[in-house]
Structure 1
């Protein structure tokens, strides 16, 4: 990235980490975020718990620095820090909870990492980092080599080096790292471990940005649905198949292997017993667990975003289907009994007011043909005496029973006469 003037001006306006470092309460935010989200490794905290912890922090600072140093309430500070224009805390609602939760953003990790880099170090190692550069370059060149002869030559070289080392060990010549080399390598291990844990929040944020871009593409799509499916589900920009997704999945599979976990714990335990490194970093003991928890959280976020994207795509397709006008499936010219003319028929003309009278014909209401109607017995019949339409249960006007009605039962069939 070029650090020219215009680029830096734009970065100062857009970067949430830069805004955090220049904020009026930067010391309060950085100390509180570092204590809760970095040192303690919290990835998600309920709103009520975070308000309580911040309230205790504000009370202690106001008691020491004087009342009114931080006049706002803890909830007001959290609302300001999680506002869209700031972007230092992510406020969200988990699927199984109606209480807001908070998590630090990648900008917080970047700001804290930059603050840590300002501290003076009594020992700065360089040898291990140079060895790391050579190892990475060898991995890249060997991993991209397609010539079998070249691969065999490299493997033969490695075997020759291992054979020479075995011969030296058998002869009693053992090369041991000195204290400076051990401290150099341990310093690089801790820095890489912290950086990897901090990168998980940025990886998660990149997944959300990718999901947001895909939603925007789906909402603005004006082509065929088949092309949209190919573009979203088969594209390299899909969440699971992106470069970010494939790299994270490879790391997650590597870390999830039981043999790798056991080896990592064993190596950390052995390193902590070395006298050359002095006091070991206490967080390194639980670093594998923090990695695994952060990776599982990121993996859950990827699954959730993929499910939400699938539902969003289904909703877009259903919305498009509802906009398509329905047409009659009856063949043209069909004379099936009980069917009326289609509403889109050319014979259906609206009535128009020409200034003096209505012209045109109004559409006929939906009717059934005579062959499709069933004859239903009338519930009302006229009385033979008074000719008043009364219910079939009896005439309340003249008292005559139903047996004397027209259309009613006869006296013999009724069994009684009145």
Structure 2
């Protein structure tokens, strides 16, 4: 690309990028500090009330240090949403609104983090990663059978040599400094993951808007986009971004692959060099797999939701109403363009418009809110705590739960007396103090520590209201050798 093309491209990026806008804003240091503080270590979104409270506490500390920050956390969040630094998203699981940084904000935070802790040299681990990726790319794109077999043979010979060295005990072990360097390289790559997921989600949102606009702009019901949706084609899932993310999502959810990553993280954290990592670095490394799985699940839900919404938009024929409304708006704009040639906005027209909608009333008819209406003026009555009665507490517990301890004692007593006991035998020897609950508890213990027979038996008990009850149940015999009944 020529210098002119580069200049135009960067000028557009300078105008449209939220990350660039954040870096050149007046309060960029404070904004990046606050957002980077709460959207780090795998945190991609927060409930709006929780974020407001966190920011209010930070703003109070900054004001005490001399910073002029007159607005509240909620006010600054509203400004950042309007500026494109944050996004508001509704949650299907709760009524709370969630707030998350945009792709550009993640990029700005990562850029500033690179300035505060730059990589001063080309590390060995980075060169190793580069060489490995190049070798894999050369191998996987090679169409020649002979060269691929030769490369595989060389790899097998190298593996055999390494296995022989391990058997002899003569193999290198990465020392603390080099292992620490590789750990930092892994964490550096992991820090880019939130921005990657934000970029994927933004691409899905943009693709959804583009598809809807294409459906509205195409005139015929037999249009390609509309026809694909009617035929059940998942345009979002089948897009380049959708296929790429689906491949990643399937990989991260693969049980064997996840187990390998989890085992590798546990092994690394158990190594002696891991003690030299900071607590935040160890925490980030330990949560690496779960953070990727959670973030991938959120993006997958977004992709699925957008696909379903687009399909419903078409199959419910709601697009026809939107298309009709768009045509009416364009027709009105065309008429307005013609009228603008002969009329001015301030011209008085001899036209009476019929007003529809809500009626306008005087300000004096409005009733102002009086904060004193919510004030509590009644005297607060203080109740002194009393002394708990153990017997009363036990009675309350017995009214809400089955007394398995009492039932177990009754079973043990019947086994000692009869040598063999069923539910009916225990009820014959001991009263069902909790009524039907005692019968249910005896059956539960019989299922856990006994076995059913082919016979039936009649059981009787007195309910808590004093009514005599009868029932016919499968005969269950308790196992006298069960650990529960050994007393």
For normalisation by structure 2, the TM-score amounts to: 0.59
Deviations 1:264-306 (A, max 9, x none): 2221222223344522513111111111111110110010110
Q: Does the Cα contact within 8 Å between 2:44 and 2:194 map onto a contact in 1?
A: no
Deviations 1:331-362 (A, max 9, x none): xxxxxxxxxxxxxxxxxxxxxxxxxxxxxxxx
Q: Which residue is equivalent to 1:65?
A: 66
Q: Which residue is equivalent to 1:269?
A: 266
Pick aligned residue for 2:199 from 199, 202, 205: 202
Q: Does the Cα contact within 8 Å between 2:229 and 2:311 map onto a contact in 1?
A: no
Distance 1:245 1:270, change over 3 A: same
Question: Whose radius of gyration is greater, 1 or 2?
Answer: 1
> Alpha-carbon deviation of 1:160?
1.5
Q: Does the Cα contact within 8 Å between 2:211 and 2:225 map onto a contact in 1?
A: no
Tell me the SS of whatever aligns to 1:24: coil
Q: Does the Cα contact within 8 Å between 1:62 and 1:70 map onto a contact in 2?
A: yes
Q: Does the Cα contact within 8 Å between 2:221 and 2:227 map onto a contact in 1?
A: no
Distance 1:182 1:234, change over 3 A: farther
Cα distance in 2, alignment partners of residues 106 and 320 from structure 1: 33
Q: Which residue is equivalent to 2:77?
A: 78
For normalisation by structure 1, the TM-score amounts to: 0.68
Q: Does the Cα contact within 8 Å between 2:106 and 2:194 map onto a contact in 1?
A: no
> Alpha-carbon deviation of 1:307?
0.7
Q: Is 1:187 aligned to 2:188, yes or no?
A: no
Q: Does the Cα contact within 8 Å between 1:17 and 1:111 map onto a contact in 2?
A: yes
Cα distance in 2, alignment partners of residues 95 and 172 from structure 1: 57
Q: Which residue is equivalent to 2:383?
A: none
Cα distance in 1, alignment partners of residues 288 and 2 from structure 2: 35
Which runs of no fewer than 5 residues in structure 2 stay unpaired? Answer: 325-487
Q: Is 1:279 aligned to 2:281, yes or no?
A: no
Cα distance in 2, alignment partners of residues 19 and 220 from structure 1: 32
Give the structure with the larger helix fraction.
Answer: 2
Cα distance in 2, alignment partners of residues 196 and 50 from structure 1: 21
Q: Which residue is equivalent to 1:22?
A: 24
Cα distance in 1, alignment partners of residues 293 and 227 from structure 2: 34
Pick aligned residue for 1:119 from 116, 121, 131: 116
Distance 1:322 1:181, change over 3 A: closer
Cα distance in 2, alignment partners of residues 279 and 204 from structure 1: 32
Q: Which residue is equivalent to 1:353?
A: none
Cα distance in 2, alignment partners of residues 2 and 81 from structure 1: 35
Which runs of no fewer than 5 residues in structure 1 stay unpaired? Answer: 324-418
Tell me the SS of whatever aligns to 1:247: helix
Tell me the SS of whatever aligns to 1:301: helix
Cα distance in 2, alignment partners of residues 132 and 322 from structure 1: 52
Distance 1:185 1:73, change over 3 A: closer
Cα distance in 2, alignment partners of residues 238 and 120 from structure 1: 42
Cα distance in 2, alignment partners of residues 175 and 96 from structure 1: 51
Deviations 1:96-140 (A, max 9, x none): 555432111111110010001112458745222222122212222
Q: Over aligned residues, Cα RMSD in angstroms?
A: 2.9
> Alpha-carbon deviation of 1:70?
0.9
Distance 1:109 1:313, change over 3 A: same
> Alpha-carbon deviation of 1:33?
0.9
Q: Is 1:31 aligned to 2:28, yes or no?
A: no
Distance 1:96 1:180, change over 3 A: closer
